[in-house]
Amino acid sequence: MAKQERSPTDRNASGLDQVKEQFSAYLAAQGKRMMESATGKLTDLAQGLENTAGGGGGDLLDVGKRVLGGENPVKAFVSEKAGTMKDKVVDSVKSAFGVAAESPEASR
């Protein structure tokens, strides 16, 4: 029996089909990776908002004021969180070295 050869157009179609399949799989994987990344970032943001609201809501109120003043919401949130973290670090260092934190009433 003679071996049947494919025409050049059949080989190209088969190769093109393989490229299409591989490209589709690549796009699907990239789409999934992007969705997972976005989901992670939204989760982090939601947890940050929850932590801010759990601390009395003062930070969240300050963020709202800054946003209403025309500041970028992300920048306002990050600035408020950085200020809060700085205060916590300063308090931790003071307590580690035995320096009493000044209360507002003590400074009067």
Taking 70 as the threshold, does the pLDDT of residue 85 lie above it?
yes
With 0.85 as the threshold, say if the pTM is over it. no
d(CA 42, CA 95): 35
Q: What are 13-63's pLDDT values in tens digits?
A: 688 888 999 999 999 999 999 888 888 777 777 777 666 555 555 667 777
**Mean local confidence (pLDDT), 80-107:** 70
Q: Which residue intervals of the chain are DSSP H helices?
A: 8-54, 58-68, 73-96
What pLDDT is stored for residue 97 in this prediction?
81
**Mean local confidence (pLDDT), 73-92:** 80
